[in-house]
Amino acid sequence: MSETFEFAVPSDDAGVRVDVFLARRMPDSSRSQVQRLIRSGMVTRGSRVVSKAGEGVEAGERISVRVERQELRAAPEALPLEIVYEDPDLVVVNKPAGMVVHVGAGVRSGTLVNALLHHIGKLSTAGGELRPGIVHRLDRMTSGLVIVAKNDFAHRSLAAQFKGREVHKTYLLLVHGRVAKDSGEISKPVGRDPIRRTRMKAGGLAPREALTVYRVERRFPHYTLLTAEPRTGRTHQLRVHFSSLGHPIVGDTLYGAPGKLVLGRREEKTLARNFLHASAVEFRHPRNNQPMRAEAKLPSELEGILDQLTSEDR
């Protein structure tokens, strides 16, 4: 099965390499993947096949890309799964860092959906074959609570609550530096980074409003422990917002966090994950409209970092 994408070149992009131009507009494809498409003859400029990735594009022309898509389908896998709450309509799970939520481009197995299909079986179909039951997501390197719908009725109700901003998610995070205010709001629109396609940024391309409310829980000499609630659900919102303040999340090198951790007088390599954990979620049950709250403790690897910071701070 093939799919064709066509892009018009704006005047601002005149002269940009064709592989760079396409990689910026195809968030599911890396620059190297675009270059492979060019070598395979899948990219055209008007009626001419592009032969070199370094060709400069011209304002006003149209670039077409044909992509061969393989049929993907999520399959059950016997993976560990921590269930926090379950009833006939929904399940709340505690996703570990390192696990992708659902099957997609470049990810065929090992996801939360694969584990859910093994442990739960039937899930809602409203999200499609690759995302059964999935109403919302967490980043791969973020741990914490995910609400999953078992049927389409629950899925529609929960999706409407997310859209209406009625679901409240609380995160625990450790950031670099000492945050000055005890509490505050970050109101900065978030859009895609025009240079690095895997990133979002404050502003960026097609920015959308984003609001985060936070409170300081504890300050250390080089770090601050916070709770934060994203009032909007933008991609990488907390990561972008705190990085924009000069306080990137520990472990989040994509958004400017250092590669080293300072623990007293010594330095260690930073975490292999982000110090970001979805610790609580509040919503209304889709069947009876009753308020629900689920909580998940901080994972041991993050708790261990806090223990070290606490002992060094004495």
Q: For 60-97, write each residue's pLDDT tens digit.
A: 999 999 887 655 678 899 999 999 999 999 999 999 99
Q: Would you call 89 a catalytic residue per the annotation?
A: no
Q: For 150-207, write each residue's pLDDT tens digit.
A: 999 999 999 999 999 999 999 999 999 999 999 999 999 999 888 877 789 999 888 9
Task: Give the C-alpha separation, 69 to 2, whole Å.
Answer: 6
* Strand stretches in 41-189, DSSP E: 43-45, 48-49, 62-68, 83-86, 90-95, 143-149, 168-176, 183-187
Q: How far is CA 111 from CA 24, 48, 73, 79, 241, in A?
A: 26, 40, 12, 9, 27
Question: Which tokens belong to 178?
Answer: 């000492």
Q: Measuring CA to CA, which residue among 301, 303, 305 is closest to residue 223?
A: 305
Task: Give the C-alpha separation, 295 to 282, whole Å.
Answer: 9
Name which residue leads in pLDDT, 72 or 254.
254
| Backbone angles phi and psi of 11, in degrees to 5 | -60, -30
Q: How confident is the model at residue 263 (pLDDT cuts 50, 70, 90)?
A: confident
Q: How confident is the model at residue 31 (pLDDT cuts 50, 70, 90)?
A: confident
Question: Can you give the pTM of this predicted structure?
Answer: 0.79
Active-site option among 19, 89, 139, 252:
139
Rounded percentage of the chain residues whose pLDDT exceeds 70: 95
Q: Helix, strand, or coil here: 39?
A: helix
Q: For 95-124, write each residue's pLDDT tens digit.
A: 999 999 987 766 778 999 999 999 999 999
CA gyration radius for the chain? Answer: 22
All domains of the chain in start order, with CATH: 2-68 (3.10.290.10), 83-163 (3.30.2350.10), 168-312 (3.30.2350.10)
